[in-house]
Amino acid sequence: MIKKMIVKIGFGRVFLILVLSLYLLTFIFSRSLFFESVLRSKNVLGDIILVLILVFVLTFFANLWFTNKKTDKILKGRANFVGYISAVFLGILSTGPIYMWYPLLSELKEEGLDTSLIAIFLYNRAVKIPLMPMIMFYFGLPFLLVSTFFMIIFSILNGYFVAKFT
């Protein structure tokens, strides 16, 4: 039944409905737990709402300026230093769910794109400019800078190992 619901209305909504049902049960059986949980949720939401708006504004601009046609043009046929740096930046700038990029990357791979560039691109999708305000809000600027630096470095190592072992 849940599977059918997921297909019909999507995982996100089913998940939300299930959690709300849990809250409904809690309201019936334990009012104090219900109000404690609602208060905690309200506090978290109140903390993040402005940052969340900023995240979606930045996501809009990322969607506006970056398309997978541009990736195709820039990455094709480059497995050198420029290619690595391009893959890093394209990975950072890319938007949408990761699986959306698999068909394009698969096609580029068939056309001879080096697997190291694909791995670097996929790894850098973890570095998201629109989400940086959120990371800063929760963990601070030093954390953002240090972890981003290491992630970029390790993305290139990732590319190297993937190319070596595949």
Partner 1 sequence: MTNYNLALKNTYNNLKNTLPVLFGTILLIAFVISVVPADLYSKFFTGNSIIDSFLGALFGSAAAGNPINSYIIGSELLEQKVSLVAVIAFIISWVTVGIVQFPAEALLLGKKFAIVRNLFSFISAIVISILTVLILRFL
Q: Is residue 126 near partner 1 by the rule CB under 8 A?
A: yes
Q: Candidates 7, 24, 31, 143: give the one binding partner 1 (CB under 8 A).
A: 143
d(CA 21, CA 4): 18
19-38 core/surface letters (b: 16 or more CB in 10 A; e: else): eeeeeeebeeeeeeebeeee
Q: Is residue 150 near partner 1 by the rule CB under 8 A?
A: yes
Interaction pattern, residues 56-75, with partner 1; x per rule: CB under 8 A: x--xxx-xx--x--------
d(CA 107, CA 103): 6
d(CA 3, CA 83): 42
d(CA 22, CA 16): 10
Q: Candidates 52, 74, 93, 112: give the one binding partner 1 (CB under 8 A).
A: 52
**Least distance (Å) between residue 82 CB and partner 1:** 22
Distances in Å between the Cα of 53 and the Cα atoms of 11, 44, 164 are 23, 14, 42
Q: Candidates 2, 24, 31, 96: give the one binding partner 1 (CB under 8 A).
A: 96
Instruction: Count Cβ atoms within 10 A of the Cβ of residue 131 and give its class: 0-12 exposed, 13-18 middle, 19 or more buried.
Output: middle
Residues near partner 1 (CB under 8 A) are 10-13, 15-16, 18-20, 22-23, 26, 33, 36-41, 44-45, 48, 52, 55-56, 59-61, 63-64, 67, 95-96, 98-99, 102-103, 105-106, 109, 115, 118-119, 122-123, 125-126, 128, 131, 134-135, 138-139, 142-143, 146-147, 150-151, 154, 157-158, 161-162, 165-166
